[in-house]
Amino acid sequence: MINLWVHLMTWVVLIIVASLAVFTSNKRVSVVSMMIARLDYIVAIVTGIGLFHYAYQSNPILTIVKVILAILLIGIVEMSFAKKKRQQLNRNFAIVVIVLILLLGLFGMYLASGFPF
pLDDT for 21-56, tens place per residue? Answer: 999 989 999 999 999 999 999 999 999 999 898 889
The residues near 4 (Cβ < 8 Å, ≥ 6 apart) are 47, 51, 112, 115, 116
Give the pLDDT confidence of 62-87 residue by residue, as tens digits: 999 999 999 999 999 999 999 999 98
Q: What is the CA radius of gyration of the chain?
A: 15
Number of domains in the chain: 1
**65 assigned to some structural domain:** yes
Range of the domain at 34: 2-111
* Residue 13 to residue 65: CA distance in whole angstroms: 23
**117 assigned to some structural domain:** no
* Residue 2 to residue 4: CA distance in whole angstroms: 5
